[in-house]
Amino acid sequence: MFRASYTATSKFKYIAQALAKITDEAPFYTTPDALEVRILSPDKTSMIILKIPSIAFEEYEVEQEEIFIVPTSDLNKIVRRGTRNDVLVFEYDKEK
């Protein structure tokens, strides 16, 4: 299981926009130390390596390392609705 709360929702909009420009789906890697995204554009001209350390999150809980894929268009829609007072919560449970 993975759960993380990120309070800087308005700043995460820029991350989501950058991911959406490069790819349609972004693989998120969860480790006890950080949330990571590594993507390469289809034409292999652009690469994004994003590592958000666990201390940047208000809440960060990882039982074991996991990989989950998020459509960037959906992620963009979600963060676009957020304001600076909102909290972005990532939650992934393999068993659900």
> pLDDT digit string (tens) for 28-87?
999 999 999 999 999 999 999 999 999 999 999 999 999 999 999 999 999 988 887 899
**9-13, 22-26, 56-60: the lowest-pLDDT one:** 9-13
Distances from the Cα of 5 to the Cα of 35, 39, 59, 75, 93, angstroms: 11, 22, 5, 15, 15
Going along the chain from its start, the domains and CATH numbers come out as 2-92 (3.70.10.10)
pTM metric for this prediction: 0.85
Other Cβ atoms closer than 10 A to 78: 15
- Kindly give, in sequence order, each residue whose CB lies less than 8 Å from that of residue 14, ignoring residues fewer than 6 positions away: none
